Amino acid sequence: MTFDESNAKITTELTGRTIDHVVRNGLELEIHCTCGHVVVLAATVDHHIVHKRTDVSVIVPGVSMMAAANSI
């Protein structure tokens, strides 16, 4: 991936998202968004910032089992 392509990927991944907080994890910069996406940026040997990956966290709400247990 070239530097220009990586810049486009950073823009694509962050457009329309609200940043909640940013975490430095070693040589990576993790941008945590309110929608559950984590955009990870890293520096190249030429000191350019590039898109490394985008992670997604999905939280599924739990189902209460107490109602089912009381009805048996």
pLDDT in tens, 7-29: 788 999 999 999 999 999 988 99
In this structure, are residues 3 and 50 in contact, taking their beta carbons and an 8 Å threshold?
Answer: yes
SS3 category, 16: coil
Q: pTM surpassing 0.85?
A: no
Q: State the pLDDT at residue 65.
A: 64
**C-alpha span between 65 and 30 (Å, rounded):** 36
* Distant-in-sequence, close-in-space partners of 27: CB < 8 Å, separation ≥ 6: 42, 43
**C-alpha span between 17 and 11 (Å, rounded):** 10
The alpha-carbon radius of gyration of the chain (Å, integer) is: 18
